[in-house]
Structures are given as C-alpha cells and as structure tokens.
C-alpha cells in the first residue's frame, strides 16, 4: 500500500512539474514570438534607400558640407562627423585596416597622456585583432567602422 501511495504521489508531483514546465515554455514562446514580430515590424520601417557618404569641401577653412540627408541621420542617431566650429579641438583618428605592430604602443602613449582617439577599423581587423579593439574601448577611445573593402596604401 505504501508503494502505491508513494507512486501516486510521485506521479502527481511529476505531472504538476511537467504542467509548470509546459506553461513556462508556452509563455516564453509567446513572448519570443511577440519580440520577434516587434523586431520584424521595426525592421520593416527602416529604409533601404542608398545614401552616398562624402563631404563637399568648403572654401576659407570652413567646415565641409556632409549633405542634408547625412546630417539628418547623424543627428537622429546622435552621431558625430564634424566638430564644433566655435571650439578649438583636435580630433585624433587612426585608420586601422591592418595591424603592423604599432597599435599597442599607440594605445599605451594615448593612455599615459590621457588622450582619446577614434580608431576606424575594418571587419577583418575586428576579427583578427579583437583584443586590441577591446583595449581601445576599455581605454575610452571610440571605435568607428571603416569600409569592408578598405585597402591601406603606401602612398
């Protein structure tokens, strides 16, 4: 009789646990579907219109014109491409399309002098030098995206 009672209790507890797991799983799936549909809906709102990036150089040492559409996008996403023309700042940037062994020393000198810079990196650089990219970020530098087809020049 005790075995039968134990078996019934065990079966009841197992059924309750299975029901709870099923309910949690169903709830998780419903939330996942909701999130996925929201993401798809948000992605559908994004324009796939191609926008050329470039600047139009100005005369008399004035800031270049980045174009109305580019300026709108930069402002919308709190981006930065031009400094404040009223302030005297120098923006230090590095093109990091490949690693020639200098970046570690550059990062060290920047850190010692409490100077921040922007490193424009390629996807290949990110994939092959992720430790250096992480160090750039940890030291408070900005990491920007360079084009995928970027080729360094010796000129």
Residue 22's pLDDT is 62
Where is 112: in which H helix or E strand? helix 103-112
Domain holding 133, by residue range, is: 90-145
Residue 105 lies in a domain: yes
Where is 145: in which H helix or E strand? strand 142-145
Structure token digits, residue 20 = 């709870």
Question: Are the CB atoms for 116 and 140 separated by under 8 Å?
Answer: yes
Instruction: Round the average pLDDT of the chain to a whole number and report it.
Output: 77
Residue 37 lies in a domain: yes
Residue 54 lies in a domain: yes
**SS3 call for 121:** strand
pLDDT tens-digit series, residues 103-138:
999 999 999 999 999 999 988 888 899 999 999 999
Beta-bridge partners for 119: 94, 143
- pTM reported for the whole predicted model: 0.51
Residue 152 lies in a domain: no
Residue 73 lies in a domain: yes
Residue 12's pLDDT is 61
pLDDT tens-digit series, residues 51-75:
777 778 888 888 888 888 888 888 8
Domain count, the chain: 3
Calculate the alpha carbon distances from 95 to 2, 29, 44, 86, 108 in Å.
77, 44, 33, 26, 17
Residue 78 lies in a domain: yes
Q: Three-state SS string across 3-71, please? A: HHHHHHHHHHHHHHHHHHHHHHHHHHHHHHHHHHHHHHHHHHHCCCCCCCCCCECCCCCCCCECCHHHH
How many Å from the N-terminal Cα to the C-terminal Cα in the chain? 92
Give the domain CATH number at 104: 3.40.50.1100
Residue 136 lies in a domain: yes
Q: Is the pLDDT confidence value at 147 over 70?
A: no
Q: Is the pLDDT confidence value at 30 over 80?
A: no
Structure token digits, residue 33 = 């579907």
């Amino acid at each position: 009789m005790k075995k039968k009672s134990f078996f019934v209790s065990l079966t009841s507890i197992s059924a309750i646990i299975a029901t709870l797991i099923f309910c949690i799983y169903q709830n998780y799936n419903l939330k996942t579907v909701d999130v996925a549909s929201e993401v798809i809906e948000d992605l559908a709102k994004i324009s796939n219109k191609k926008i050329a990036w470039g600047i139009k150089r100005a005369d008399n040492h004035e800031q270049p014109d980045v174009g109305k559409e580019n300026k709108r996008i930069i402002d919308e996403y709190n981006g930065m491409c031009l400094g404040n023309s009223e302030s005297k700042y120098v923006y230090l940037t590095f093109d990091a399309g490949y690693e020639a062994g200098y970046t570690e020393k550059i990062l060290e000198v920047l850190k010692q002098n409490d100077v921040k810079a922007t490193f424009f990196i390629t996807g290949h650089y990110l994939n092959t030098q992720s430790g250096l990219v992480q160090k750039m970020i940890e030291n408070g530098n900005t990491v920007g995206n360079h084009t995928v087809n970027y080729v360094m020049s010796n000129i």
